[in-house]
């Protein structure tokens, strides 16, 4: 299971801060699948990296109870 609780993440894009998640909460149960569809440059890879523990959120908690 992967559980995002009030997760926020943003990056600097030039002179401006780009928010990719703002207080997002969701849960993916063991054995379930999820698709992430969005335009280029919107943070899909950052979300996957946070799921895998390769990147940390700015705020909130991510709980993992299985291998990623």
CA 35, 63, 48, 22 dihedral sign is positive
Q: Global pTM?
A: 0.87
CA-CA-CA-CA dihedral for 53, 46, 20, 2, to nearest 10:
-40
Please report the pLDDT score of residue 67 as a whole number. Answer: 75
Integer Cα distance of 31 and 1 in angstroms: 8
Please report the pLDDT score of residue 66 as a whole number. Answer: 80
Please report the pLDDT score of residue 41 as a whole number. Answer: 86
Cβ-based neighbours of 56, under 8 Å, separated by 6 or more: 50
Per-residue pLDDT tens over the stretch 19-53: 999 999 999 999 998 899 999 988 999 999 999 99
How many Cβ atoms from other residues are within 10 Å of residue 36's Cβ? 11
Task: Compare 13 and 44 and report the one with higher pLDDT.
Answer: 44
* Residue range 2-24: mean pLDDT, rounded: 94
């Amino acid at each position: 299971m992967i559980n995002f609780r009030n997760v926020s993440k943003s990056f600097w894009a030039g002179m401006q801060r780009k928010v990719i998640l703002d207080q997002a909460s969701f849960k993916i149960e063991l054995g379930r699948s999820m698709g992430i569809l969005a335009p280029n440059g919107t943070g899909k890879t950052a979300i996957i990296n946070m799921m895998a523990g390769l990147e940390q959120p700015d705020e909130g908690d991510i709980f993992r109870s299985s291998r990623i």
